[in-house]
Amino acid sequence: MNELKNIVKDVNSIFIAGHIRPDGDSCGACLAAYHYINNLYPDKYIKVYLETLPERFDFMDSNKEIITNDIPDEKFDLFIALDSGSADRLGDAQKVFYEAKMTVCIDHHISNKNYAGQNFIEPDASSTCEVLYGLMAYEDIDFKTAEALYVGIMFDSGVFRYSNTSQKTMEAAGALMAKKIPFWDYIDQCFLKRTYTQTQLLGRTLLTSMLLMDGKCIVATITRRMMEFYGAQTEDIEGIIEQLRVTKGVEVAILLHETGEQEYKVSLRSNDYVDVNKIAEYYGGGGHAKAAGFTMRGSVHDVVNNITQHIEIET
């Protein structure tokens, strides 16, 4: 239970980073690692980087510790990569990763490449925050660390609704609740509250969605024109795929986000038996059996046709 403490005790400078387009688990893991290490070793030089910090997670970074636009031009003793299945998913922080003296990866993606010098990968865990919790000594977890860990676990387990939620997940969440965090408020903060822009984008996306494969598959597309019309940012898309997934009778939900000329970021979710990670890996992406993603080029028609051919094999 003291692995993280032992890893960092003999280094002076530490760089912590999560994956591009960070979600709740990535943000939570980065902040939890930062607070935990900083509390144990306040004299160590620590930088924590995320490509961006979505507004809904601002409350976890009340002291503005995260850097989002400035990659330090220096070499670190240790790089801790969190919730990132491959080095390229670190984005601009990749340069710091390759120049660090030591590298550690803590993750739960089944598609993880074991790319660091030391890897802690648990594909059966609900979240990277659950894996990270297991590397910490409970007595050294303070309020801010507990908050960040709980939010990450809650986020990637879908508020404990997904099948990746285990007894171990619930025991970790219960132990973190004992740290006096306002756990009841995090659901509103991270899931239920939406800006007006997010509500408009959600409504438009659902309105233009289509059922395919006799209702087993639902597809929706968010175009660049839609994003511009509503003044939306990438983080405003968060949660839309889940609204598609819970459509009655649907096994697989597909959300296409247009990122360039005939280029789409594809998000896949499944409910019961389709392993969408296999589909994502085929196209150079990855994730989990029931939640995965990748980038694909072509027209919407071509992209959807190619994906549904793979779904048909699974069904």
Residue bearing the bigger pLDDT, 61 or 16: 16
Residue 188: the pLDDT is 87
For range 246-253, the mean pLDDT = 96
pLDDT digits (tens, 9 = 90+) for 150-172: 999 999 998 998 888 999 999 99
Look at residue 315 and tell me whether its pLDDT is greater than 70.
Answer: no
Instruction: Give the integer Cα–Cα distance in Å for 19 and 27.
Output: 9
Domains and CATH numbers, the chain: 3-192 (3.90.1640.10), 196-314 (3.10.310.30)
| CA dihedral sign of residues 295, 278, 95, 147 | positive
- SS3 category, 275: coil
Which amino acid does the sequence have at 90? L
Q: Which two tokens stand for residue 148?
A: 């960040």
Cα three-residue angle 105-173-30, rounded to 5 degrees = 30
pLDDT attached to residue 162: 85
The confidence score (pLDDT) of residue 173 equals: 97
Residue 133 has pLDDT above 80, yes or no: yes
Mean pLDDT across the chain:
93
- Cα R_g (the chain), whole angstroms: 19
Pairing of strands 210-212, 78-82: unpaired
Tell me the C-alpha distance between 12 and 100, whole Å. Answer: 12
CA-closest candidate to residue 19, choices 151, 109, 153, 154: 109
- 16 with 80: CB under 8 angstroms? yes
Q: What is the pLDDT of residues 270-280, one digit of tens each?
A: 999 999 999 99
Q: Going by C-beta distance under 8 Å and a sequence separation of 6 or more, which residues neighbour residue 204?
A: 226, 230
User: Cβ distance 156 to 25 under 8 Å?
Assistant: yes
For residue 108, the one-letter residue type is: H
Element at 226 (helix H, strand E): helix 224-230
For helices 143-156 and 24-40, give the axis angle rounded to 10 degrees: 160
pLDDT of residue 166: 96
For residue 308, pLDDT over 60 is answered with yes
pLDDT at 245: 95
Q: Is the pLDDT of residue 1 over 60?
A: no
Separation of alpha carbons 3 and 119, rounded Å:
12
